Amino acid sequence: MEFLKRIEEKWQKNWETAKIFEADPDPHREKFFLTFPYPYMNGPLHVGHTFTASRVDAYARFKRMQGYNV
């Protein structure tokens, strides 16, 4: 497990240094807004939740590749 913890720490430091989680939108690019309804806690998570989240994630990445601020 120590090996995995070292890998995690390495990448967390890299992401912090690169400011991966900070938004820096380009004001000259067109905006695109996408929402995702979080799963309700009235039952266990299932593959349908993954299917929905994956579609939203893929579409957001596609729009970024097209040049939109997502």
Predicted local distance difference test score (pLDDT) of residue 41: 74
Residue 5 lies in a domain: no
Residue 44 lies in a domain: yes
Closest C-alpha among 30, 12, 29 to residue 21:
12
Domain range holding 53? 22-70
pLDDT tens, 36-50?
887 777 778 788 888
Q: How many domains does the chain have?
A: 1
Residue 14 lies in a domain: no
Residue 58 lies in a domain: yes
Reading the block at residue 69, the tokens are: 């601020």
Predicted local distance difference test score (pLDDT) of residue 48: 81
Residue 50 lies in a domain: yes
pLDDT band at 56 (very low <50, low <70, confident <90, very high): very high
Residue 62 lies in a domain: yes
Please check the confidence at residue 60 and state whether its pLDDT lies above 90. Answer: yes
Residue 35 lies in a domain: yes
- The answer to whether the CB of 58 falls within 8 A of the CB of 36 is no
Residue 69 lies in a domain: yes
Predicted local distance difference test score (pLDDT) of residue 39: 72
Predicted local distance difference test score (pLDDT) of residue 30: 94
Burial group, residue 70, by CB count within 10 angstroms (0-12, 13-18, 19+):
middle
Q: What pTM value is reported for the model? A: 0.62
